[in-house]
Structure 1
């Protein structure tokens, strides 16, 4: 078995928990995931099964979330699961002020990941260093925010803001909540997070663990074909004999259809079977398709 699951991760589960549960349900050892979600977050967690685990690095990186930010409070982890380090009722704040501050977070921005995160510094995860009480300088990173939309605004001593956010890989929504609180001088933390899009998978097409277990019991489970989330890659089709040679690790000639030398390509046989991933290379006056990852047996 090889392919993907579009899993709706439940609250309180780690991404590793979901992989372990999937491995047990499918009775297969080779299972992995893309885009780690914190235990308190829910939503899309792409799960790769079998040889498809080798494709995880080639999935698209863009993601989208629905998040709730609570103002007037700051925590050690930048979400409600952490120790409260500041709390004070908010006064004199209105939605216009929030919109003005939030607009500063679109485009390419510098972001400092939360102290409790999986980023490695000095060979150790930041959350490991934080739990040991060690203070280290967290390196900034450039991330890209494509769009932020305000969904709801609730006033009170500790106002809450619901947003929809589309962003590139590596973006921490907890950091946006924290930094918005800093800009507004109120403090801010992430109160809830749901991922709606990840690596080419969408929440509306996801499946939870209970439904997965039920489908397996009734024999209705169908794994997502390995090439489905790779639609962002161009296609090359090989005839039968070149396809066989390519799957055996040989370079084979392909038509010269422009400068795609640095592009990763989805490779298919004449029968439409997904064979794997390849990369063009020039050899004298011809263009060759180099095997990068062969998934089919021919």
Structure 2
């Protein structure tokens, strides 16, 4: 068996439909022969598109990827409600009503900004220690509390027929697109579910950054070797664009690496910060906080 490699960085995987996020992660980890891997936000097997995968020390920045804004392209099917709020569930209600284009446009503003949203019964949220989807599959009635989520923008991008409408949705952490489809349908006097879902952006990653499993496998076959595919990796600090950066000198870097604080001197010293990216030359040293004029290590990278 080949020795696992210390590979560090991000892959913006274009996950295919039908593959779970954990399965996709395992395949990428195996292709890179990486010691550590994690993903920055689950995609249901039904969904395709952008699944950010962190390798090595990039796993220490996963929470920043998960907190990033996301953009989805979703096709809603009007006239059928499903138990899972997507096409994989059983039909549980039907309606003959189909909303007009103008009806759809008229309700979009209701679902923008901070809104209250009840998650789908088939979701990974825990209820009394159990996953909601496990309870739902066992036939138990699941009551989930509404939560506040933020939707920055919804727009119609296509209306292929009376039964379907395609939307682009840009939203914050914790938003369920299946709940959004269900609630928009109810607001339009009908029922509905997600027929197709694709994620096209997560934080700093977009469509142009995505690479398929097939392409990764092809690269691995063309140029076999432990470092063959490192050229497609994005740097660890890619997902940290939204936090301040601070450069340190050699002596300061050594103190931080030993778990010690560094006093920031001078009138231009940064004010208190919960998280700053500390750079040591061209290398990211890690994430620190600034407290009472001192730089304190929080999560350092072993590079």
| Both structures adopt the same fold (TM-score exceeding 0.5) | yes
TM-score bin, normalised by smaller chain = over 0.9
Q: Does residue 1:266 correspond to 2:248, yes or no?
A: no
Q: 2:151 aligns with which of 126, 145, 151?
A: 145
Deviating above 3 A after TM superposition, structure 1's stretches of 4 or more consecutive aligned residues are 255-260
Residue 258 (structure 1) shift: 6.1
Instruction: Note if contact 1:46-1:199 (Cα within 8 Å) is conserved in structure 2.
Output: no
Q: Which consecutive residues of structure 1, in runs of 5 or more, have no partner in the other structure?
A: none
- Residue deviations 1:224-283, cap 9 Å, x none? 1101121101111101111111112111122454663133100011x221111000011x
Instruction: Note if contact 1:4-1:224 (Cα within 8 Å) is conserved in structure 2.
Output: yes
C-alpha separation between the residues in 2 aligned to 1:103 and 1:82?
Answer: 28
What TM-score do the two structures reach when normalised by structure 2? 0.91
Instruction: Note if contact 2:121-2:143 (Cα within 8 Å) is conserved in structure 1.
Output: no
Q: Which moved more, 1:191-200 or 1:56-65?
A: 56-65
Q: Does residue 1:187 correspond to 2:198, yes or no?
A: no
Q: 1:280 aligns with which of 282, 290, 299?
A: 290
What TM-score do the two structures reach when normalised by structure 1? 0.93
C-alpha separation between the residues in 2 aligned to 1:107 and 1:258?
Answer: 36
CA pair 257-117 structure 1, distance change in 2 beyond 3 A? farther
User: In the alignment, what sits opposite 1:30?
Assistant: 36
- Equivalent residue of 1:38, what SS? coil
C-alpha separation between the residues in 2 aligned to 1:52 and 1:89?
Answer: 50
Instruction: Note if contact 2:108-2:155 (Cα within 8 Å) is conserved in structure 1.
Output: no
What number of residue pairs does the alignment pair up?
Answer: 289
C-alpha separation between the residues in 2 aligned to 1:215 and 1:63?
Answer: 28
Show the 5 A alignment for 1:1-298. Answer: 1-59=7-65, 60-91=67-98, 93-156=99-162, 159-219=163-223, 220-221=228-229, 222=231, 223-255=233-265, 257=268, 260-269=271-280, 271-282=281-292, 287-297=293-303
Residue 190 (structure 1) shift: 0.6
Instruction: Note if contact 1:274-1:296 (Cα within 8 Å) is conserved in structure 2.
Output: no
